[in-house]
Structure 1
Amino acid sequence: MTREMITETEEKFLSGHFRYYTHEHMQEPVLETVQAEDLMSREGTAHVLNDLHLYLGSQSFLTTGSFLGKRLGHYAVTVPIVMMTVLDKFPDVSPGNVSYIRIDDNPKWFPKFHLKDKSVSLPGEDREEWIRDNMRQLFRDFLKPVFFHIHKTTRISKKVLWENVAIYLYWLYERKLPEWFEGEELEQKRRDFYFIINELDGEPFGENKNPFTYFKDQPVLPSGARERKCCCLSYRLHEDSTFCKVCPHLKQMENLKK
Structure 2
Amino acid sequence: MRQHLSLEERSYLSERYGLRLQDDPRPCLRSITAMELLDRAACESYLDWLGDYIGSPTRQATASTLVKRYAAIAVSPALYSMTVNNKGLTLELEHCLLETPELPEHNPLGTKLPYLSVSSYGISLPAPDQRRNWREHTVRELFAGHLTPLIRSLSEIARVSKMILWENALVRMVPLFKEAIDSAEDPTAAARIREDFRYIAREAPGELFGERRNPLSALVESTGMDPEGDYKHRLRRTCCLYYKVSAEYCRQCPLPQESRE
- Structures share a fold, TM > 0.5? yes
Q: Tell me the TM-score normalized by structure 2.
A: 0.84
Alpha-carbon contact 2:89-2:121 (below 8 Å) kept = yes
Quote how far apart the aligned CAs of 1:215 are.
2.3
Any gaps of 5 or more consecutive residues in structure 2?
A: 104-108, 226-230
Matched, 1:66 2:64: yes
Matched, 1:253 2:251: no
Residue in structure 1 matched with residue 154 of structure 2 by the alignment: 150
Quote how far apart the aligned CAs of 1:180 are.
4.7
Matched, 1:199 2:197: no
- Matches of 1:219 and 1:93, distance apart in 2: 26
Q: Deviations over 1:189-233 (max 9, x none)?
A: 222112112321112334331111122322639x84442110001
- Matches of 2:152 and 2:37, distance apart in 1: 10
Q: 1:113 aligns with which of 105, 111, 116?
A: 116
- Matches of 1:243 and 1:42, distance apart in 2: 30
| Greater helix content | 1
Alpha-carbon contact 2:180-2:190 (below 8 Å) kept = no
Aligned-residue sequence identity (percent) comes to 26
Q: Which aligned runs of 4 or more in structure 1 are off by greater than 6 angstroms?
A: 254-257
Letter in 2 for 1:113: L
Residue in structure 2 matched with residue 20 of structure 1 by the alignment: 19
Alpha-carbon contact 2:25-2:117 (below 8 Å) kept = no
Q: SS of 2:112's equivalent? A: coil
Residue in structure 1 matched with residue 239 of structure 2 by the alignment: 231
Quote how far apart the aligned CAs of 1:255 are.
11
Q: Tell me the TM-score normalized by structure 1.
A: 0.85
Q: Summarize the Cα distance change of 1:243–1:256 in structure 2 as closer, same or farther, 3 Å threshold.
A: closer
1:61-100 equivalences in 2 (<5 Å): 61-100=59-98
Q: Summarize the Cα distance change of 1:157–1:27 in structure 2 as closer, same or farther, 3 Å threshold.
A: closer
Residue in structure 1 matched with residue 8 of structure 2 by the alignment: 9
Supply the RMSD in Å over aligned alpha carbons.
Answer: 2.8
Alignment: residue pair count: 250
Q: Summarize the Cα distance change of 1:171–1:208 in structure 2 as closer, same or farther, 3 Å threshold.
A: same
Alpha-carbon contact 2:87-2:123 (below 8 Å) kept = yes
Letter in 1 for 2:74: A
Matched, 1:243 2:246: no
- Matches of 2:158 and 2:55, distance apart in 1: 16
